[in-house]
Amino acid sequence: MGGTFQIDEAQFIEQARQFQLTDRTIAVVKNNAYNYGLEFAVKAFAISGIRAFATTSVDDAVKIRHMCGDKVDIILMNPTTDFKRARMFNLHITLPSRDYYDAYKDELHDIHIHLEYAGLFNRSGLSSIEELEYILNDMNESDLELNFTGLWTHFGYSDEFDGIYETERGMWEQFISDVLELGIKPSIIHAQNSASYVRDGLLDKHSHVRLGIGLYGSKPYADLDDTDFVQSSTLSAPIVQFRRLTAGMTLGYGAAFKADEDCTVAVVDIGYGDGVLRARAGHECEIGGKTYPIVALMMSHMVVLVDDDVEAHMSVYLYNKKLRIDKYTHLGVGANSEQLGALNYQSLGREIIYDV
């Protein structure tokens, strides 16, 4: 028994096929491909036509190379000092700062380098064009030749509609212009996540979009049509037992639920230890096509207030086509990636539905 994360392979591939920008999409597969599974997602994206991948892990990058051979570009969004494997497996690496350059400049030869811009998100990256000018001047004085293949940033505000995204985008576009004026001609310029791609299409001077959550079938922001984002996954769990409570009885840690009247609850074999966010328990689940309120969440169990229509053999769904991941993002449970990233793939079962 236990919870099961199920994926329909054909639907997953079709979503990736219809959402990508042909020949110009970098698929983000970090953190076990949003917990859809790295091997599954990379192979499915490759079938859909994607030929470039981005991750934060050298180990994952090497796995992708073994899966896909030399046919794809693989970009490391986190800086690395594993220069040996970067060369061996032809990985594209990130140069995030002047300090990183100073520390490792003599080891960066013969590697594809993507310059990162911090921008308004300010997580990592070069803060100004002056930092890049310093690097170029030092390269000239040190007689270094580095291969600046790429230029990138991350848009942290592309799902905001109060003007901040336009400011963020404008800063980045100015940085691109400044870089090009210095004589650097990167062949891969990428910044746009799913939200930015939906809003703007491919931005001027960009070679690629770098897509995450939209490829996986979740809307990057609420004001979009569900039919354009096919959620191929479900999360379900079996009922362990029913309990009959009389009015006033309590249940769960700290009396999480108190019965206002005589009622029946179903104890379900899934909990926050399996990665169900606590905030998700403030909403409904689905059993037999009807929705029922979740009234308590424990480490290994969930309790649902049910009626006589619910039978022991029925599966309890926390996510499916009706209970969409992005629906609960809009309701404040957590970002799409947060809900997916929390799932404990070591305790949950995983099933792939193949189109046979």
Tell me: the pLDDT tens digits for 12-40?
999 999 999 999 999 999 999 999 999 99
Q: Computed from CA positions of residues 219, 225, 226, 231, in that sequence, does the dihedral angle turn out positive or negative?
A: negative
Residue 337 included in any domain: yes
Give 1's pLDDT tier (boundaries 50, 70, 90): low
Give catalytic status of residue 253 as yes or no.
yes
User: How many angstroms separate the CA atoms of 66 and 117, rounded?
Assistant: 30
Closest by Cα among 177, 105, 181 to 147: 105
30 catalytically annotated? yes
What's the mean pLDDT when you consider all of the chain? 97
Give me the catalytic one of 71, 84, 253, 354: 253
Tokens of 72: 């794809």
* 186 and 239 inside one domain: no
- Residue 225 located in a structural domain: no
Q: Are 45 and 123 found together in one domain?
A: yes
Residue 270 belongs to a domain with what CATH number?
2.40.37.10
Structure tokens at 325: 């991941």
| Same domain, yes or no: 41 and 178 | yes
Candidate list 30, 63, 100, 317, residue with the active-site label: 30
Distance of CA 109 to the CA centre of its chain: 31
Total number of domains in the chain: 2
What CA–CA distance (Å, rounded) separates 144 from 161?
44
Please check whether residue 14 lies inside any domain of the structure.
Answer: no
Residues 70 and 151 in one domain: yes
pLDDT above 70 covers what percent of the chain? 99
Give the pLDDT confidence of 154-174 residue by residue, as tens digits. 999 999 999 999 999 999 999
pTM: 0.96
pLDDT at 355: 80
pLDDT of amino acid 345: 83
Q: Are 316 and 266 in contact (CB under 8 A)?
A: yes
| Domain co-membership, 43 together with 117 | yes
Domain that holds residue 95: 21-214
Residue at 267 is within a domain: yes
Domain harbouring 170, CATH code: 3.20.20.10
Q: Is 48 in the same domain as 153?
A: yes
**pLDDT tens-digit series, residues 266-305:** 999 999 999 999 999 999 999 999 999 999 999 999 999 9
Identify whether residues 59 and 118 lie together within a single domain: yes
How confident is the model at residue 356, as a pLDDT? 60
Beta carbons of 42 and 68 less than 8 angstroms apart: yes
Of 154, 179, 214, the position where a domain reaches its end is: 214
Tokens representing 29 are 């597969």
